[in-house]
Chains A and B, each alone.
Chain A
């Protein structure tokens, strides 16, 4: 079974600073994807960034980047130049390519990030 662990229930950062959210996962699969989703207060969850396991290069989306350590099964999210709009619950998620029809996401418990002015 796959598990995703986010060890930081809450974090805070000052506006314009950098923050890193941690995520570890456990799987015996080799073909999988990792995601960070963001859910702002009272709004719907949106995809922030995606990493394919077979790609060695870390994914980057503007101010968001990941540090993907496959051997260590670690997938952290770095937010640079934090903005007030980054305040949200962040979920780390995993999905593997079963070659069949099993495409359910496995989520961590989430990290509540607050960006302070």
Chain B
């Protein structure tokens, strides 16, 4: 069974540019999460999809971030325009169900560097 995959693995962009990160969850997992780790800090929650619906987007930093999940399958996270403080590792995770006891399976992350 394929795990959670993320693309690209690394992205280096200039301030003001746009970047789109992609996440493919484990097949059959309705729940998809985005997290971010800024250097030296905690991994922080960004948002949670159930199928194609945003269940909780309380962690999204501002309106420069836009997440979508087309047809309840893969998800994209767009940053437009990117700022220096957006640099970090963006993790995607998926789970079979949304209960607290269900394991969230993580992807390898996308390392975003904004210069």
Which residue numbers of A lie inside 8 Å of B, CB to CB?
A: 4, 31-33, 37, 42-47, 50, 52, 91, 95-98, 101-110
B33 touches A44 (CB 8 A): no
B45 touches A104 (CB 8 A): yes
> Smallest CB–CB gap between B53 and chain A, Å?
10
B103 touches A47 (CB 8 A): yes
CA distance A33 to B95 in the complex (A): 15
**A to B contact number (C-beta, < 8 Å):** 65
CA distance A42 to B45 in the complex (A): 21
Which size class do B's interface residues fall under?
20 to 34
CA distance A24 to B102 in the complex (A): 22
Q: Which of B18-26, B61-69, B75-83, B106-114 contacts its partner?
A: B106-114
> Smallest CB–CB gap between B47 and chain A, Å?
9
* Given A44-B107, A52-B101, A97-B101, also A106-B45 (CB < 8 A): yes
CA distance A42 to B50 in the complex (A): 28
Residues of B within 8 A of A101 (CB): 48, 50, 55-56, 98
9 residue pairs, one from A and one from B, having the closest CB atoms: A104-B45, A107-B43, A45-B106, A97-B100, A44-B108, A95-B100, A101-B55, A107-B42, A103-B98
B56 touches A102 (CB 8 A): yes
